[in-house]
Structure 1
Amino acid sequence: MKYINQIIKILDRYEGDGYLVGGFVRDYLLNRESNDIDLAINVQVKEVAREFCDIVNGSFVVLDDLHNIYRVVIDDMIYDFTPVVGNSIKEDLLNRDFTINAVAISLSTINFTNQGYKIKKMIDPTNGREDINNGVIRAVNKKVFREDPLRLFRAIRFKAELNFTIEKNTEVIMKENPKMIKDIARERIHDELIKILNTKRAAKNLFYLENEFSLLSNLISDVNELKEIGECKYHREDVWTHSLYAVKKLEQLLEEDYWNKRIDSDKIPLLKFATLFHDLGKLITEEVIDGEIHFYGHDKEGAKYIEPILRELCFSKKSITYIKKIIRYHMRPLSLYYADNLTDKGKYRFFRTVESSVVDVCLLAAADTLSTKLLNSRQDEIKDNLAFLKELIKEWQEVEERTAEPLLTGYDIIEIFSIEEGPQIGEILKEVNEAQAQGLITNYQEAIEYIKNIINQ
């Protein structure tokens, strides 16, 4: 609200009216802080936004030139300018998606004081304030989902973000034709999915959007198959049930300081998506051996299988690489736990392969084992599994500290040992780095002696 007075002065010169609308008003009524200010104005939108941008020395962004939608960014504040749709702000509000987003505040009714500001009056043609107070998501009219099927996902996203409930009649309308989502641009669906995954209630709402509306299976047909397979020696439940429960367990783990402080917040929605589809490879690896069902190699195959799905959903190349890696290696940490004669070298190879994603992979492994063992009455193993994963992370951190600086370079090896440049140099460096990681060598001279032993073998 810092620069609202500037906008009011500009509008006065244009003899126009402006309104705070949408998410900003909703958040204001919920006493939630918001850095996104949504404005609807009934005069030249581009000119007003441009002039405001120049006055506050902000950054001007064209969001949709055709529909006159513009953004001004000032530090961490975002001001979005849109035209009033229709002949009045009331008509504009009556054409919005949900009543909680159909409340407006006329800029002319804001009373600014030394202590801040007071809102004198609100424009609320759909009783949105009452729904906000009661925590209810209600469609403005019966056409909202036909007009824009993305609102099916938006309704559930608001439910997840605000912890609201969707009103029963709105649920009925949402169930009429979920296949409408197939016509939506995948970029828009991607953004809504990420927002749902970014909430602390993603598992609950992923279950809701699929169980009630079949939105995920209409988007990713493999979901229906995941509901039909997975039972084996280790699982009484299907893959979909197991995976959703794993997302729930992951969210619970992220409530703990230990995990929360070790995971990049930007990676959390991607990690949840990887968790939801970590066993996707079971669709193509199921086989019966000696009367038992197995899914050998499902981690490796799942990492391949997920890529076209991620591309279809417009994930970035960086996100695709991350999700594939998490799925590919999600079995490795507890394979180390169950391995006979586990060595430091075996752990180091895991660290080298997974690199900076060790904690992320271990967190998925923790959620995976919690889901498997809680759903299959094998709780006695959980404590040791989780303790091993934390010890593995501790050892990885120690390795990272030991190997932060290389003890020598390939040029050192060439010069000291008169070895020609080639693959042998890389192999020697690899062995030296492994020895350094294990703490067998700690300085330049020890590295030289270690190489002498390698060469003389």
Structure 2
Amino acid sequence: MLNILRPIEILKEIEKERNDKFYIAGSGIREYLIADKIKRIRILTSFEALDIAREFMNRCEGYTMIEKEDGSIEIFSDRFVSLIFSKICPQGIISQLSKKIYTVDAVAMTLDDFIDFKPEKLINPHGGLEDINNRILRIVDGENLRQNPIGYLRGIRLMAEHELDIDPDTEIFMKEHVHWLEGIRGDEYTKELFRILDQKESSYYINLMDRHIGMLQYIFPEIEPMKNVGECKYHVVDSFTHSVYTLKVLEGVVNANGFFEDHLRTAYEEHTSKCMNSNIKRLSLIKLGAFFHDIGKPAAKFNDDKGRTRFQGHEIVGAEMLMEIGKRLGLSEEDTVTLSRYSALHMFPLVIYKNNDVSGDTLFNMFSQTEDETLDVLLIGYADIVATRKLLNPDEEMGNFKVHVEYIANNYITRYLPLKEMDKIITFEEIKKLVGEHEAMPAYEALRKSIYMGRVSLKRDKIDKFLSNISWR
């Protein structure tokens, strides 16, 4: 608890000076009891949340502030626990907790009681402590959910983060009133959606959202047609079921120790842990891409002259649909394009495998198109094939395709990624001066390919010699 001691000390100072009583509510208590560490603490105060947050930041450097839509103020730091300040309602703490959607949030403690953590001092009007200890998600009052339907996603996220089971009566209630989600905006639920995808087994909760509660039709109406197409010579289930299974396979690969060789696993961990422009984890965007990789199939479906169902071009149709979904979610333009490219490019690994062609020319052509999404596409492509084949033949050995994907990934990491260093050795403008403006782009591409193929080393004298040689033209 080292990262929370100093913030608590400062809060106690402010509390005393203001002659107020601060409460810690919800997440801080829940995480103390059942999580590995406390990530954020919600502070309830009689004063304006913004005033207390500013006063706190004046005494503790390194925090950044954001104002949330509900009027609360969140401050976060690399050094200390995040704090969320809210103003307590005039009726007092019991009334405040009664406004919570779930019992696991409807608990509170004073600062002093939290430091010593005395469970008997917990303010627990709705049985939240018992539900936390028993890992149960239960509704406080259905009216609270109606007023804030984002609580549907929050509930699933709490289940995913803390491995909660849903109370049967709560599940029935949520399913019966799921229409409350109608009209919900993408930017309203994006944060909760990606926090669900951040979890190791998000496929389970995505499936629960649809099969048990019926939420996904309001969040992603595009998935409903997927439930009616997809079965063909290569698929024994509909596209939606296949997509959920693809996500499950992908998470199995990511979560498994020893699935990839150490250097590949390290490369994947570094790549997928990056934070995207929209302040989401790259791995979570990859997961969303895996779930949506076949979203274009309903629109692309046709029967050939032999009466066989085909989905030719579904990856391009899907890419166009994902551009719209990315915008709806409020993702940055760059992240939206990346999500779209997951659909557009996911067939590459399978096509190359079927053609039995992993030549230098073929892989260079692939990498020139997949670029920074190469490792992502390989992961999605692998999960897609395994999810397809394992349902056709559960005993089929997928080792050959795994080796195929690893070989491509190795080539990308060891031969294509180093090309990023080329611009540090010679710029495009310098190439223009050496070969002329009209020949610059062909020369640039020829140089990149020659370096990739091992015919030219990444040294300036070797590059100059190559560019001066007419044979590249």
TM beyond 0.5: yes
- Residue 25 of structure 2 corresponds to 21
Superposed, 1:37-52 pairs within 5 Å as 37-52=41-56
1:288 corresponds to which of 297, 303, 311: 303
- Residue 455 of structure 2 corresponds to 440
User: What TM-score do the two structures reach when normalised by structure 1?
Assistant: 0.91
Whichever of the two has the greater Rg, that structure is 1
Structure 2: distance between partners of 1:33 and 1:158: 15
Task: State whether structure 2 residue 139 is matched by structure 1 residue 124.
Answer: no
Contact 2:367/2:374 (<8 A) preserved: yes
- Residue 366 of structure 1 corresponds to 382
Question: Per-residue CA shift, 1:180-203, capped at 9, x if unaligned?
Answer: 112334222111111111111211
SS of structure 2 residue aligned to 1:123: coil
- The letter of the residue matching 2:293 is H
Structure 2: distance between partners of 1:111 and 1:167: 31
Q: CA deviation at 1:449?
A: 5.5
Task: State whether structure 2 residue 322 is matched by structure 1 residue 322.
Answer: no
SS of structure 1 residue aligned to 2:126: coil
Superposed, 1:52-63 pairs within 5 Å as 52-59=56-63, 61=65, 63=67
- Residue 76 of structure 2 corresponds to 73
- Residue 276 of structure 2 corresponds to none
- Residue 367 of structure 2 corresponds to 351
SS of structure 1 residue aligned to 2:176: coil
RMSD: 2.4
Question: Per-residue CA shift, 1:251-287, capped at 9, x if unaligned?
Answer: 1000134375314222111111111110112122212
SS of structure 2 residue aligned to 1:20: strand
Structure 1: distance between partners of 2:250 and 2:357: 30
C-alpha spacing 1:8/1:338, structure 2 compared with 1 (3 Å): same
Q: CA deviation at 1:177?
A: 2.2
Question: Per-residue CA shift, 1:406-457, capped at 9, x if unaligned?
Answer: 37555665665xx5322x2211221121111011222555545655665587
SS of structure 2 residue aligned to 1:403: helix
User: Structure 1: 5+ residue runs without aligned partners?
Assistant: none
C-alpha spacing 1:260/1:97, structure 2 compared with 1 (3 Å): farther
C-alpha spacing 1:166/1:120, structure 2 compared with 1 (3 Å): closer
Q: CA deviation at 1:356?
A: 1.8
C-alpha spacing 1:213/1:54, structure 2 compared with 1 (3 Å): same
- The letter of the residue matching 1:360 is D
Structure 1: distance between partners of 2:432 and 2:95: 78
Runs of 4+ in 1 over 4 A off after TM superposition: 117-120, 407-416, 443-457
- Residue 411 of structure 2 corresponds to 395
Question: Per-residue CA shift, 1:37-72, capped at 9, x if unaligned?
Answer: 21101234433332222122354635159x652233
Contact 2:239/2:294 (<8 A) preserved: yes
- The letter of the residue matching 1:70 is I
Contact 2:53/2:85 (<8 A) preserved: yes
- The letter of the residue matching 1:295 is F
Question: Per-residue CA shift, 1:96-119, capped at 9, x if unaligned?
Answer: 11111111111243566xxxx766
- Residue 301 of structure 1 corresponds to 317
Superposed, 1:35-184 pairs within 5 Å as 35-59=39-63, 61=65, 63-64=67-68, 69-74=72-77, 75-110=79-114, 121-184=121-184
State the identity %: 24
C-alpha spacing 1:106/1:187, structure 2 compared with 1 (3 Å): same
- Residue 239 of structure 1 corresponds to 239
Structure 1: distance between partners of 2:472 and 2:51: 77
- Residue 193 of structure 2 corresponds to 193
User: What TM-score do the two structures reach when normalised by structure 2?
Assistant: 0.88
Task: State whether structure 2 residue 214 is matched by structure 1 residue 214.
Answer: yes
Q: More deviation in 229-238 or 255-264? A: 255-264
Structure 1: distance between partners of 2:229 and 2:378: 25
Q: CA deviation at 1:363?
A: 0.4
